[in-house]
């Protein structure tokens, strides 16, 4: 079963709306990284935000996000593409704080201010577009909203939420993003702001198990949304052994020989997905042979 994200327009194209169910994606991140509940919520909200930002991309474009706070989580790093693939990790997955004064998972406490939010958009060849803003709340939805307003000059409303069961499994996860298109009516901005306030906390909506279609109606009013597209969203990391072999080759012959002599092999772990790849002595010797071959080819040129 995969999650889904619905892209829609509302009010004659003046507002863009994305709604996202990310329960399976966040559950997979939780299992891969063995996160404890506050870390699950923080990583999950970042993954949801990344999927929402990536929904604005086309083709092979990608977005990467770093939340660098001063709390116990350390850094949260995520990335995603226009096809709904997201992945990510947090420096310290074993973070479980007391609930905050509202009885909710204390994401702001785990992220910690001061800090910054860095977003890089890889639009193909050339340097990525990079935007950086200070963290304004640490709850993340507010921080991504602030980023959209300041760095991308797009007035937006973003909601992100992850609910965790007593057994640490993910009960619900998701988010939404409303964006005013250029030239949108000022009155519409006021109307939507009032509506979003009225809706209350997004986590309560998520808890009430509404479908994405029902959420759309709640956000912009029944019948006001025109659905454009629906995309599947899932946790996906494109890493494989060949990529890591390339990495090992790049550290050089002497280092690899040391791995063979001292460790009799090597094991590498992908930060993003937690997958482990082992290289036997024979495989490492093969990498050394490949380096020698490359050198011979280079000297013959």
Interacting residues with Zn ion (CB under 5 A): 237, 239, 270, 272-273, 275
As measured in angstroms, the least distance from the Cβ of 243 to Zn ion is 9
User: Is the separation of the CB atoms in 281 and 265 below 8 Å?
Assistant: yes
Residues 6+ apart with CB under 8 A from 55: 5, 7, 18, 20, 82, 84, 177, 231
DSSP symbol at 196? H
Residue (of 291, 299, 294, 241) closest to 270 by Cα position: 241
As measured in angstroms, the least distance from the Cβ of 228 to Zn ion is 31
Q: Which residue, 189 or 268, is less far from Zn ion as judged by CB?
A: 268
As measured in angstroms, the least distance from the Cβ of 238 to Zn ion is 7
Q: Which residue, 46 or 203, is less far from Zn ion as judged by CB?
A: 46
As measured in angstroms, the least distance from the Cβ of 269 to Zn ion is 9
What three-state secondary structure class fits 275? Answer: coil
Q: Which residue, 202 or 277, is less far from Zn ion as judged by CB?
A: 277
Residue (of 136, 130, 182) closest to 158 by Cα position: 136
88 C-beta neighbours (distance < 10 Å), count: 28
Q: Which residue, 8 or 273, is less far from Zn ion as judged by CB?
A: 273
Q: Which residue, 264 or 276, is less far from Zn ion as judged by CB?
A: 276
Q: If DSSP states are collapsed to H, E and C, what string results for 20-57?
A: EECHHHHHHHHHHHCCCHHHHHHHHHHHHHHHHHHCCC
As measured in angstroms, the least distance from the Cβ of 40 to Zn ion is 19
As measured in angstroms, the least distance from the Cβ of 89 to Zn ion is 9
Q: Measured between alpha carbons, how far is 152 from 158 in angstroms, rounded to an integer?
A: 14
Q: Which residue, 176 or 277, is less far from Zn ion as judged by CB?
A: 277
As measured in angstroms, the least distance from the Cβ of 237 to Zn ion is 3
User: Is the separation of the CB atoms in 268 and 244 below 8 Å?
Assistant: yes
Place of tokens 């998972």: 105
Q: Which residue, 97 or 270, is less far from Zn ion as judged by CB?
A: 270
How many separate helices (H) and strands (E) can be counted in the chain? Answer: 10, 12
């Amino acid at each position: 079963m995969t999650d889904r994200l619905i892209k829609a327009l509302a009010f004659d194209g003046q507002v863009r709306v994305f709604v996202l169910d990310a329960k399976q994606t966040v559950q997979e991140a939780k299992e891969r990284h063995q996160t404890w509940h506050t870390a699950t919520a923080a990583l999950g909200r970042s993954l949801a935000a990344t999927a929402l930002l990536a929904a604005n991309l086309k083709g092979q474009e990608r977005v990467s996000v770093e939340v660098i706070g001063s709390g116990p989580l350390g850094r949260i790093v995520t990335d995603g593409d226009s096809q709904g693939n997201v992945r990510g990790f947090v420096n310290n997955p074993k973070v479980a704080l007391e609930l905050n004064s509202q009885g909710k998972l204390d994401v702001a406490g785990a992220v910690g201010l001061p800090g910054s939010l860095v977003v890089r958009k890889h639009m193909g060849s050339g340097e990525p577009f990079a935007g950086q803003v200070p963290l304004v709340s640490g709850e993340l939805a507010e921080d991504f909203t602030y980023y959209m307003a300041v760095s991308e000059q797009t007035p937006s409303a973003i909601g992100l939420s992850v609910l965790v069961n007593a057994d640490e499994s993910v009960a619900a996860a998701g988010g939404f993003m409303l964006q005013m298109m250029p030239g949108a009516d000022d009155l519409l901005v006021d109307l939507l702001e009032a509506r979003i306030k009225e809706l209350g906390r997004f986590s309560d909506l998520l808890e009430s198990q509404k479908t994405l279609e029902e959420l759309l109606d709640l956000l912009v009013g029944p019948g006001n949304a025109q659905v454009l597209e629906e995309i599947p969203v899932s946790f996906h990391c494109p890493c494989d052994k060949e990529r890591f072999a390339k990495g090992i080759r790049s550290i050089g012959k002497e280092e690899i020989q040391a791995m063979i002599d001292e460790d009799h092999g090597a094991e590498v772990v992908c930060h993003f997905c937690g997958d482990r790849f082992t290289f036997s002595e024979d495989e490492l010797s093969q990498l050394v042979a490949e380096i020698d071959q490359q050198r011979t080819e280079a000297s013959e040129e």
